């Protein structure tokens, strides 16, 4: 699966500062809205928060995959950030989160975004891949690492 179809270098950011789950989601919303025409940052943030209220998207091992459906979204869109310091995220395993991959889907999406979620979850189950993401020195290295690994799944 080619993650490059949903993720761009401009939506791949390394070593960011976020003191809370809300702040991390706000960063993701702003990052996506700045890069994708027609996406409103405030509305996206509200939808990400609403999705978190249904249950944490922290899947364990320091990973969260916040996701939601969005108006004015015509294809699956991704954004990846790593944090300088892990944050409390109410993850399933109780571990703090430092890798977040947001995924947006059109409101009428069928199952394309589910295929991306499955490929991403498969890649993120690899210990060495997670460590490579955490050790990326800059945005470009982070983008290269994620695109190479997810293509294998």
Q: Which residues are catalytic?
A: 67
Question: In 3-state terms, the chain is what percent helix, strand and coil (to 5)?
Answer: 45, 25, 30
What are the CA-CA distances from residue 28 to residues 12, 44, 89, 110 (Å)?
10, 9, 15, 23
Q: Name the pairing type of β-strands 63-64 and 97-106.
A: parallel
Is the distance from CB of 100 to CB of 67 less than 8 angstroms? no
Residues 6+ away with beta carbon under 8 Å from 65: 57, 59, 100, 101, 102, 103, 117, 120, 121
Distance CA 59, CA 47 (A): 19
């Amino acid at each position: 699966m080619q993650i490059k179809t949903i993720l761009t270098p401009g939506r791949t950011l390394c070593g960011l500062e976020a003191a809370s789950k809300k702040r991390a989601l706000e960063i993701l919303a702003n990052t996506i809205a700045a890069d994708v025409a027609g996406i409103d940052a405030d509305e996206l943030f509200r939808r990400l928060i609403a999705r978190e209220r249904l249950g944490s998207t922290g899947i364990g091992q320091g990973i969260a995959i916040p996701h939601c459906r969005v108006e004015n979204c015509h294809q699956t869109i991704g954004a990846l950030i790593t944090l300088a310091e892990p944050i409390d995220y109410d993850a399933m395993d109780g571990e703090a989160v430092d890798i977040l991959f947001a995924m947006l889907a059109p409101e009428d999406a069928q199952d394309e975004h589910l295929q991306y979620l499955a490929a991403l979850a498969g890649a993120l189950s690899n210990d060495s891949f997670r460590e490579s993401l955490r050790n990326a020195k800059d945005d470009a290295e982070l983008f290269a690492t994620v695109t190479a690994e997810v293509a294998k799944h």
